[in-house]
Amino acid sequence: MAAPVPSLLRQELERLAESDQRIDGRGRWDRREVQLEVDILYNAEGSAKVTWGDTVVYAGVKFELRTPWPDRPTQGSLMCGAELRPVAHRKYEPGPPSPQSIELGRVVDRGIRESGCIDMEALCIVPGEKVWGVMIDIHVLSDGGNIFDACGLAAIAALRTAVVPAERFDVGEDHVLAVKGTPVMASFQRVGGRFVYDPSEDEETGGEERIHITLGDEEHLHSLQKGLKGAFTPAEFAEILEVARTHCGELRELVSSMEGN
Amino acid sequence: MSQGQNGAELRLVTPGSAIGPVSGRRVGTGALIQGDDIIATRVGHVRERHGTVSVDPVASCYMPRSGDLVIGTVIEARSNLWFLDINGPFQALLPMSLAPWKVEFGGTRDHADINDSLLMRVQEVDEVQNVVATMKGIGLRRLAEGAVLTIDVQHIDTLRAEGAALLKRLRDLSDCRLVLADNGRLWADGDAAGIDWLRALLRAVAAAGRSDRFEAILEAHAANAPNQGDA
Amino acid sequence: MMGGYGDVKLLNDDGTRLDGRTVDEMRPVEIKAGILPAAQGSAWVKHGLNVAVVAVYGPMEAHPRKIQRQDRAVLDVRYNMAPFSTSDRIRPGFNRRSREISKVTAEALESVVLLERYPRSKIRVEIEILAAEAGTRCVGITAASVALADAGIPMRDMVVGIASGKIQDTVVLDLDKAEDNYGQADLPMGICPNTGELVFLQMDGDLSIEEYNLATEYNYKAAAEIHEIMVAALKARYDGGEA
């Protein structure tokens, strides 16, 4: 059962917003500390661990051989899932995947898929017969707020450092997965009446609607999602889009720095 | 370093560690007697006082006891009672008869609505952990203003020690009215500057992890407190 | 795990194992406590190439009502393997093996946790296996014990998980993946270092009584070593704790 949201918390968040402050002392567009590690899971062909404030997530990439879809005989497949299991927080009681958990997986999937960063043709081994299926699984271990951005970052970092296990399947030599571009997600939430970047747990609890923006290398939009109850204006969106560009750029560089290790 | 009353280092033990032979001593919290030995049941520091061996745990969750001062959040309002989250394993029940207001049957929400914060006392905890709270008592009320901050239960004893010296220091420096509840919550009311200072201090305390450096961190933050007062 | 693979050579001519270990040598173990900020208590254990992470929440009201006990708490244990933890991806969802391991792990831990302190409550133990290399149920038990202690749940002892087995008619301590796949027996145990009691025991394969006794001896010896690492990990969390 979710913990109650004290009215006093909402009052505090409004008061803080009026004087341009946030409950954890950050500036309106400041990001919490992010740490990224790659290649840390021995059974995964690609892996990443993201520590983002109090949020901790792992992403693992696995490959399988499969037959292509009949209407796309020269393309491989991509599947992206996220699990929000009870391990991640007291409020997540065991049971079937919650709508929140499902939304998380689908939003991250769209961000990766719609950017076209995975060359589906390059996953073809024998046209019409054999292709690679790429499977990314994201595992949230600690929800300290803004799991969306942490999951998005872990997913792309794991993909960009993944090695196709051709030798194990006897279809050639191992090679680095062809990933062009680094789509990165930036999330905003309305807290105390105005949007802030990278909501912490308290802000998510006491805040209102949220917006997730995935930007690619040319700063094109690749996916958008608005969640929870609330309404925003185009002007508000334009403002947060500007902020997204800066943060996505920085996080893109962070991922680049991990490659070639 | 954790110091005992005479300045000696206290031993840190883990569950299952042997503390020593029973030798006619009794056991308090965090320890039990197993045959001829006393063993620890928690991670914590061994303390021996007046022939009783106990272990002060480094981490614990709040377990309500009769008489505790608690700040609760209303989860549910029924016709003649409220259920509140008090940061413990079970919700507390506040019956209409123990509220400070004249409540009509069915009119509970007129006095305390969902998500309201109430300052209460634990009236009774029975053997299967049913918790009944009361608001009959001096100072118990609905908290309409101010902020409710979170503080690890480990620090509550530290703040209350020696006539609540550290709590007084917090009050002076922040220039806020403070009520320290036993369930790991601190209510603060005053200027924004004071509340923000308190929040920054508690963030630093939480970031320091499991330690007994509350006082040291407090003094480190004293310099930028709103009210320097008599330092 | 039995049968049919007798031709795979698991021991070198000098008696060492494929990874260079002697028959009574454990894989390296690393433990950290308090690594998940959202959890009340948590632990990370690396044992060989296995990685287990555990979060503990509670005590809290036991829901649904049917699992509640009036006289004590229940341990609600979930052992789960992440999809990327094994060589072939595991599809998320109900898994019979995981359900069985969850049950026996809960029963092991319930033997040491002082449950009577918290009637009508439950304590959640969430075991996540991030990488699997034989012996995951044992690593899960070890990590769960550390996480429970880290959360401040009172216990009369911690439980250490460790397994021995038999390969090429030789009893060996702490089977790795190849040895588990191609070996002749597997004996995982949950040992209480304080009292020496067993709270978890499973076995499959073929062991004579003498082999069982030797495997047990190896397990106890290793459990003492692992226990020291568990204690050190818990003490390290406390600022100024003893080394």
Decide if B6 is inside a domain.
no
Beta strands A130-142 and A163-164: pairing type? unpaired
Number of domains comprising chain A: 1
Task: Please tell me whether residues B44 and B97 are part of one structural domain.
Answer: no
Q: What is the mean pLDDT of chain B?
A: 91
**In CATH, what number is assigned to the domain containing residue B45?**
2.40.50.100
Which domain does B19 fall in, by range?
12-57
Q: What is the 3-state secondary structure (H, E, C) of chain A?
A: CCCCCCHHHHHHHHHHHHCCCCCCCCCCCCCCCEEEEECCCCCCCEEEEEEECCEEEEEEEEEEEECCCCCCCCCCEEEEEEEECHHHCCCCCCCCCCHHHHHHHHHHHHHHHCCCCECCHHHEEECCCEEEEEEEEEEEEECCCCHHHHHHHHHHHHHHCCEECCCCCCCCCCEECCECCCCEEEEEEEECCEEEECCCHHHHHHCCCEEEEEECCCCCEEEEEEECCCCCCHHHHHHHHHHHHHHHHHHHHHHHHHCCC
Task: Please tell me whether residues B52 and B76 are part of one structural domain.
Answer: no
Q: Which burial class, exposed, middle or buried, applies to A239 when counting CB atoms under 10 A from its CB (0-12, 13-18, 19+)? A: middle
Contact criterion met (CB below 8 Å) for B207 and B152 = no
| Distance of residue C210 Cα from the nearest chain A Cα, in angstroms | 36
Decide if C81 is inside a domain.
yes
| β-bridge mates for residue B179, sequence order | B187
B206 confidence band (pLDDT: 50, 70, 90): confident
Give the model confidence (pLDDT) of B92-125 as tens digits: 999 999 999 999 999 999 999 999 999 999 999 9
Whole-angstrom distance, CA of residue C226 vs CA of residue C143: 11
**Is B116 in Cβ contact with A5 (below 8 Å)?**
no
**In CATH, what number is assigned to the domain containing residue A40?**
3.30.230.70
**pLDDT for res B229:** 59
Mean pLDDT, residues B134-152 taken together:
94
Decide if A5 is inside a domain.
no
Give the model confidence (pLDDT) of A4-39 as tens digits: 788 999 999 999 999 999 999 999 999 999 999 999
Whole-angstrom distance, CA of residue C87 vs CA of residue C139: 18
Whole-angstrom distance, CA of residue A76 vs CA of residue B26: 70
Decide if C243 is inside a domain.
no
Decide if C24 is inside a domain.
no
SS3 of residue B47 by DSSP: strand
pLDDT > 90: percent of chain A = 87
Q: Find the helix packing angle between C209-237 and C136-150, rounded to 10°.
A: 30
| Distance of residue B13 Cα from the nearest chain A Cα, in angstroms | 27
Q: What is the mean pLDDT of chain C?
A: 94
Decide if B73 is inside a domain.
yes
**pLDDT for res C241:** 42
Mean pLDDT, residues A47-71 taken together:
97
Q: Which run of H or of E encompasses B163?
A: helix B154-174
A5 touches chain B (CB under 8 A): yes
SS3 of residue B171 by DSSP: helix
B 9-68 residues with CB < 8 A to C:
11-12, 14-18, 30, 32, 34, 39, 41-43, 57-61
Decide if A186 is inside a domain.
yes
**In CATH, what number is assigned to the domain containing residue C65?**
3.30.230.70
**In CATH, what number is assigned to the domain containing residue B195?**
3.30.1370
Decide if C155 is inside a domain.
yes
Decide if C147 is inside a domain.
yes
A228 touches chain C (CB under 8 A): no
Nearest CA in chain B to A21: B196
Mean pLDDT, residues C216-239 taken together:
95
SS3 of residue B15 by DSSP: coil
Nearest to C192 by CA among C181, C184, C183, C201: C201
Number of domains comprising chain B: 3
Decide if A129 is inside a domain.
yes
Nearest-10 Cα torsion for A18, A19, A20, A21? -110
Decide if C10 is inside a domain.
no
Give the model confidence (pLDDT) of C91-132 as tens digits: 998 899 999 999 999 999 999 999 999 999 999 999 999 999
Which domain does C46 fall in, by range?
29-235
Contact criterion met (CB below 8 Å) for C165 and C183 = yes
The pair of three-digit structure tokens given for residue A201, joined into one six-digit string: 């747990």
pTM of the shown model: 0.94
Give the model confidence (pLDDT) of C11-59 as tens digits: 999 989 999 999 999 999 999 999 999 999 999 999 999 999 999 999 9
Decide if A12 is inside a domain.
no
**Is A8 in Cβ contact with B147 (below 8 Å)?**
yes
Beta strands B131-134 and B92-95: pairing type? parallel
Whole-angstrom distance, CA of residue C105 vs CA of residue A88: 20
Contact criterion met (CB below 8 Å) for B188 and B194 = yes
Task: Please tell me whether residues B74 and B137 are part of one structural domain.
Answer: yes
Contact criterion met (CB below 8 Å) for C191 and C112 = no
**pLDDT for res B127:** 86
Whole-angstrom distance, CA of residue B81 vs CA of residue B224: 44
Decide if A4 is inside a domain.
no
CB atoms within 10 A of CB B223: 9
Per 3-state DSSP, chain C is made up of helix, strand and coil in percentages (nearest 5) of 30, 30, 40
**Is A24 in Cβ contact with B114 (below 8 Å)?**
no
Q: Find the helix packing angle between A234-258 and A147-160, rounded to 10°.
A: 40
Decide if C11 is inside a domain.
no
Q: How far apart are the first and last CA of chain C?
A: 41
Which domain does A237 fall in, by range?
26-258
Chains contacting A with at least 3 CB pairs below 8 Å? Answer: B, C
Decide if B4 is inside a domain.
no
Decide if B47 is inside a domain.
yes
Decide if A18 is inside a domain.
no
Whole-angstrom distance, CA of residue C16 vs CA of residue C211: 18
Decide if B62 is inside a domain.
no
Task: Please tell me whether residues B128 and B77 are part of one structural domain.
Answer: yes
Non-local (6+) Cβ contacts of A71 within 8 A are none
Decide if C8 is inside a domain.
no
**Is C152 in Cβ contact with B60 (below 8 Å)?**
yes
